[in-house]
Amino acid sequence: MVDRDTLRSTAGVRTLVRIAGERGMAPAACLAGTTVSPAALLDPSAEISAHDELRVVRTVLARFGDEPGLGLVAAARQHFRLRGPWGLALLGSRTLRELIEVAQRSAGRNVPLGRLTFEEADGEARLLFQDAEIPPGMRAFFAEMTLAGLPAFDRELYSVGVPVQRVSFRHAPPRSIKRYREVFGVVPIFGATVSGVVFDRCLLDQPLPPANDAARDSCGQLCRDLLDRRRTRTGVAASVRDLLVRDPGEIPDQATVALGLYMSSRTLSRRLHEEGTSFRALLDEVRQTMSEVLLTHTDMTTEQVAARLGYAEAASFIRAFRRWQGCPPQTFRSRGLRPCRAPELV
């Protein structure tokens, strides 16, 4: 069972309150009975307990729960910019398999109740939503929001969608299926034994297309903000750092960075030396900062973090992290060390 006292981001509630507002329900009415005020939703760093979040969902569903596909609307509104480090983690995925693995690990932070599982069988890949912990009146909403999250993120980050073969929901057929067809590209099976999305297994390990410009720009800004919190850089060093974080999951080597700055590797080394730094120091600076944020604010494995930072194997990342922090990544995480609150993508 999920600890309902656990504090979470208000991003989901902020989205739901906005949706309710568009339908004529005041923010104060949505938040009635919780410890959260409408003003607190304006603070991106504010948090809410899982218990209060569920109360907001229950209140909004009591008013609008008969609207077909309301959970799909909520999923579409959970924009990449609201996801902070999770957006960075997702955007760095190289394949659909990696994207799903990271999304699965994020479910606990982004869905108060329910469990997302993944299985492969008979040439199919199946993403399933288990709702046994969820009160019956909320199951349809959370199933829709969770299962629609994958195509929503995929389209927003990469401007493409996963071709879905089948979609099923445990709840009864709604009075309109228009939204479902628009989101998934197929008409779902309602009244099924399990809620899930099924697609061709061969898609799992195909390379994802490059991220679209908007997602890349947002991710780059997040990385620059994080790095500037630790140390502001100017001159050539700042340009090097910008190139190191330009493409999530793809950290270039010195020769590539030098080429991007229209100079030789030797000239780049000399210019950085004149500024009191080196390419290795800047690379370590980027990797250390990003690793601390991903370890602190996501549930990514050590192997996944290592891959995002451009390490060929996790062992190399672990050695480097020991050099930076004096302990391995999992010890850092277990101690609950939090170097800073991560900003959101904008």
Total of domains in the chain: 3
Give domain status of residue 182, yes or no.
yes
Query: Where a domain ends, among 189, 209, 229?
Result: 209
Please write the tens of the pLDDT for every residue from 269-317: 999 999 999 999 999 999 999 899 889 888 888 998 998 888 989 999 9
Are 202 and 79 members of one domain?
Answer: yes
Please write the tens of the pLDDT for every residue from 229-285: 888 899 999 999 999 988 777 889 999 999 999 999 999 999 999 999 999 999 999
Are 217 and 272 members of one domain?
Answer: yes
Give domain status of residue 235, yes or no.
yes
Give domain status of residue 266, yes or no.
yes
β 189-190/164-169 pair status: parallel
Whole-structure pTM value: 0.72
| Structural domain range at position 20 | 1-64
Give domain status of residue 344, yes or no.
no
Query: Where a domain ends, among 209, 230, 260?
Result: 209
Per-residue confidence (pLDDT) for residue 154, from 0 to 100: 62
Please write the tens of the pLDDT for every residue from 174-223: 999 999 999 898 999 999 999 999 999 998 998 877 777 777 777 777 78
Contact 71, 16 (CB under 8 A): no
Question: Residue 112: is its pLDDT beyond 90?
Answer: no
Query: Where a domain ends, among 176, 209, 242?
Result: 209
